[in-house]
Structure 1
C-alpha cells in the first residue's frame, strides 16, 4: 500500500471540478476529457490532475452489453425510464450515473517505470478509505458478483457495494476512475440494470456471462453510513485529501493545447459510440 500512497502524494495536484455542471453535461464529454488529460499529463505538459464529475440520468454501457441478443428492447426500457445511454470503448458492463453518483478521476503520468495496474487500483481504494475513515467502517475491495458491473475492485461495506473502480491508459497517462453512489437508493439503481438485462436477454443463453443482479447487495454511502450525505460533502472530503497530499492544489479547466486535444478525443468518442450502436442494431 506504500507504493499506492506514493502515487497519491504529488508536488502539485490540479483539480478540474465538473460536479455541478448540470443535466446538459454529457457523459461523452467526460470520456473525451479523461483521454485529453491522459495525453497532457502523460506527456508532462500538465501536472497530475484530479477531476470530479456528475452526469444526470445516464447509463454507461460496456462493449459486451452491445452484444446482448435483444439489446434494443433493453434500450427502449431505459429510455422509457428517462435515461439516456452511451457505450464506452473499454471493459466493464452497464453502470448507472445520476445526480446522486459522484465520479472521481486521478490522472497520473506513467513516467519511466510505468504504473502497475493493481497499484493504480490500490491508490484509489486507499484514497476512498482515507476520505471516509472517520465513520469507522471497513471498506473492502473485492468482487461483489451479484452487483452491476462486478469487478475485483468493487468497494463495499458489510458486503454492500457502493463504488466501482476502473482504469484508462493512453499516451503514457493513467486515469484511475471511481464512481461513488453517494445519495439515493443503491438497490433501486441495481433494479434498473437488472430489468435492463432481463429485457435485453429474455432468458436466452449467451456466450458471455452477464451478472445475475441482486439489488439488495448495492447501497449508497448515505444508506451505509446512516447520514444524509451530499455530493458537496464528498467533494469537501476529496479536496481535503488532495490538499493534504500535495504542496499545491490548483483549480483549473482544460487549457492551451488541451482544448484541441479535447475536440479530437470527444469527436472520436462520438464516432465510436455511433458505430457500436449501429453494429448492435444490425445484429438484432
Structure 2
C-alpha cells in the first residue's frame, strides 16, 4: 500500500453538509456526484456529506453487478421481492440500502499528482475509526472474509464488518481551468441498526440471480447498535458524527463550515 500521509490531502477549507433528497432514493445516492462536480469546478469547497438513504429498503450495487441480461433480470426479480436495486458510480459489490444505514462521503478536487487510492481510503476511514473511539469502541481496517463488499478498507469492530468503502476518480489533474476538472469521491456505508441477516440474504439472492459466485455470511458483519449494546439509530448516528467531525477537522487546521441544522431533519 502507498505511504502518502492522508493528512497531506486535507484542504484548507471544508464544508460539512447533511443534504438528503428524500423524494428520490436514486437521486439521493447520485447527489454525491453532483456535489463532487461542483467541487471539481471550484464552485464549492471540498465537501464531506453525512447522509441517510431515503426510507426505501433495497441494495446499492455497481454498474458491473448489473451488466448483461442476467443483471437486468436480477433487478426485476429483486424489485418484485421488495428489494429494489440502485446503481452507484463507485465500484465494489452490493451493500444494503435503507434507513438503517448511514453514509459518509468525501468529495475533494483532484489536485495531488502523487496521491494514491490508499491515502484517500485512509482519509475516509480514520475519522470513522476515531469517531468509534469517541463512542467507546475500538476499530480497525482490514478484510473480513465472508462479508458483503469485502475489501482491505472495511472498518471492523470485534472482527465484524461495520463499514464498507468504495472510491471513484473522475476527470484530470489540470484543475478548474480544464474542460474536465477532476474529483475524488470516497464513500463509506455504515451499518447502524438494520436487520443485517435479512439484508445479507437479499444480497445472496441478488447474486444468485445474476449467476455470480458470491456467498456472503451474516456472521461476518454487524451493526453499530449491536456493538454499542444500546439503542442507536441512524438519526442519532448522523447527529453524533456531524458533531464529532466539525471539531475533528478544525483541529487539523482546516476552516470548517458545517450545516448542523440539517442534521435533525427527519426522513
RMSD of equivalent CA atoms: 2.5
Q: Post-superposition shift, 1:79?
A: 1.6
Q: Which residue pairs with 1:3 in the alignment?
A: 5
Q: Does 1:99 align with 2:99?
A: yes
Aligned partner of 1:193 in structure 2 is 203
Q: Larger deviation: 154-163 or 131-140?
A: 131-140
Task: Tell me, in whole angstroms, the C-alpha distance in 2 between the residues paired with 1:165 and 1:53.
Answer: 15
Q: Secondary structure at the match of 2:143?
A: coil
Does residue 248 (structure 1) correspond to residue 256 (structure 2)? The answer is: yes
Structure 1 residue aligned with 2:232: 229
Q: Are the aligned partners of 2:127 and 2:245 in contact in 1 as well (CA < 8 Å)?
A: no
Partner of 1:152: 152
Q: Which residue of 1 aligns with 2:14?
A: 13
Q: Give yes or no for the alignment of 1:26 onto 2:28.
A: no
Q: 1:88 to 1:16 in 2, by over 3 A?
A: same
SS of corresponding position for 2:163: strand
Residue 211 of structure 1: how far off its partner (Å): 2.6
Instruction: Mark the runs of 5 or more structure 1 residues left unpaired by the alignment.
Output: 253-284
Describe the shift of the 1:96–1:112 C-alpha distance in structure 2 as closer, same or farther (beyond 3 A): closer
Correspondence list, 1:1-284, <5 A: 3-8=5-10, 10-19=11-20, 21-22=21-22, 24-31=23-30, 33-55=31-53, 56-67=56-67, 70-71=70-71, 74-113=74-113, 115-170=115-170, 171-201=181-211, 210-244=213-247, 245-246=249-250, 247-251=255-259
Contact 1:162 1:186 in 2 (8 A): no
Distance 2:127 2:189 in 1: 13
> Helix, strand or coil: the match of 1:132?
helix
| Cα shift at 1:199 | 3.5
**Gap runs ≥5 in structure 2:** 171-180, 261-267
CA distance in 1, matches of 2:232, 2:137: 15
Count, aligned residues: 241
- Structure 2 distance, partners of 1:199, 1:163, is 25
Q: TM-score by structure 1 length?
A: 0.75
C-alpha distance after superposition, 1:174-208 (max 9, x if no partner) = 1111011111222221111112223432xxxx6xx
* Equivalence for 2:178: none
Deviation at 1:78, TM superposition (A): 1.8
Separation of aligned partners in 1, 2:235 and 2:205 = 31
Deviation, structure 1 residue 112 = 4.5
Q: Which is bigger in relative contact order (C-alpha 8 A, separation at least 6)? A: 1
